[in-house]
């Protein structure tokens, strides 16, 4: 008979990171976002939220799943069994009965939302669907003018405006707390010496992309954005292709990934053309509670 699932809340982020690091590394692609968020707080690159939630799903004394919350964002769920999801719903409902949202692999997120709506009486709505892509053979676009350069803190105002526009385009984080987090992440990564990138033409910045620090050998690109006036010129494709090629050539890197908005066929087609292939879909559910 299989042992039941149990959930443990951990108050210390350093201890939580140590407890979950090996398990997260066993699923380096699917767990990349969670692993990166945990590692950045454990090493001090990003300040740990005072009301952050760090939960281990345990079975037979071994980690079997991870759930975190970095407010004001909702829960972030890793892959786990359906019985583990039920244990998570039970545990979270006792400590945070009105979490605003939950995001994770589609199967897990769908199951959590169904159980959570029954447990709390909330209305669960799928507000954002994304797809993880991975590239192993980069096919750069031809005849794109311009060059890649490293972004600097001097680009902060431009990047902040572009991050706001990117978030609004994807319905991902356009509210003020989410934007502040994105800008803070950009600054923290630059300060830590982690490269962020701009494509420029004749000295003018025309496209941008952020690069996550490697986690279990996986680097994730994010916040890829080109302003409307510069679109349809291949700038983002050229930038992502160049970054991806360089990332894959680095010692110790096993994979280069990114996420797309599933409702945006343009970006999904662009990344496929330069060699990215689908890996996993995720769904972010928002919860509205009865008054």
- Domain covering 5-129+284-288: architecture: 3-Layer(aba) Sandwich (3.40)
Measure the CA–CA gap between 244 and 225, rounded to whole angstroms: 16
% of the chain surpassing 90 pLDDT: 79
DSSP letters of 48-97?
PPTT-EEEEEEETTEEEEEEEE-TTS-EEE----HHHHHHHHHHHHHH-T
Q: Which residues pair with 59 in a beta bridge?
A: 5, 62
The pair of structure tokens assigned to 241 is 């292709």
Note the helical H segments in the chain: 13-26, 32-42, 82-95, 106-120, 156-170, 176-191, 235-248, 265-273
The single-letter DSSP state of residue 215 is B
For residue range 136-159, list pLDDT tens digits in order.
999 999 999 999 999 988 888 898
Residue 1 has pLDDT above 60, yes or no: no
Region 208-233: what's the mean pLDDT? 94
Region 77-89: what's the mean pLDDT? 98
**Residue 163: per-residue pLDDT:** 85
Measure the CA–CA gap between 282 and 32, rounded to whole angstroms: 13
The pair of structure tokens assigned to 115 is 């159980």
For residue range 49-76, list pLDDT tens digits in order.
999 999 999 999 999 999 999 998 999 9
The pair of structure tokens assigned to 131 is 């797809």
Region 249-267: what's the mean pLDDT? 94
**Residue 176: per-residue pLDDT:** 47
Look at 153 and 219; give whichever has higher pLDDT: 219
For residue range 171-185, list pLDDT tens digits in order.
554 444 556 677 777
- Would the CATH topology of 5-129+284-288 be identical to that of 138-274? yes
Q: What is the CATH number of domain 138-274?
A: 3.40.630.30
Q: Where are the domains of the chain?
A: 5-129+284-288, 138-274
Decide: 8 and 56 in contact? Cβ < 8 Å: yes
């Amino acid at each position: 008979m299989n042992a039941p699932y149990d959930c443990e809340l951990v108050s210390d982020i350093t201890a939580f990171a140590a407890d979950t690091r090996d398990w997260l590394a066993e699923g380096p692609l699917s767990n990349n976002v969670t692993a990166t968020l945990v590692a950045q707080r454990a090493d001090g690159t990003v300040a740990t939220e005072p009301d952050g939630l760090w939960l281990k799903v345990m079975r037979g004394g071994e980690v079997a799943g991870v759930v975190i919350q970095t407010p004001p964002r909702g829960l972030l769920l890793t892959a786990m069994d359906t019985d583990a999801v039920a244990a998570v719903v039970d545990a979270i409902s006792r400590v945070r009965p009105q979490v605003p949202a939950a995001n994770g692999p589609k199967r897990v997120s769908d199951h959590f939302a169904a159980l959570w709506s029954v447990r709390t009486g909330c209305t669960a709505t799928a507000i954002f669907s994304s797809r993880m892509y991975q590239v192993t053979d980069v096919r750069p676009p031809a005849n794109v003018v311009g060059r890649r350069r490293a972004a600097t803190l001097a680009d902060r105002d431009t990047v902040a405006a572009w991050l706001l526009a990117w978030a609004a385009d994807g319905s991902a984080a356009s509210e003020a707390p989410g934007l502040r987090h994105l800008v803070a992440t950009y600054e923290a990564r630059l300060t830590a010496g982690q490269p962020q990138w701009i494509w420029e033409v004749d000295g003018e910045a025309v496209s941008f992309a952020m690069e996550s620090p490697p986690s279990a050998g996986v680097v994730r690109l994010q916040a890829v954005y080109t302003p409307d006036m510069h679109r349809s010129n291949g700038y983002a494709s050229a930038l992502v292709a160049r970054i991806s090629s360089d990332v894959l050539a680095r010692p110790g890197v096993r994979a280069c990934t990114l996420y797309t908005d599933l409702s945006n066929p343009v970006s999904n087609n662009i990344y496929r053309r330069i060699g990215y292939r689908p890996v996993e879909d995720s769904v972010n559910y928002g919860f509205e509670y009865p008054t």
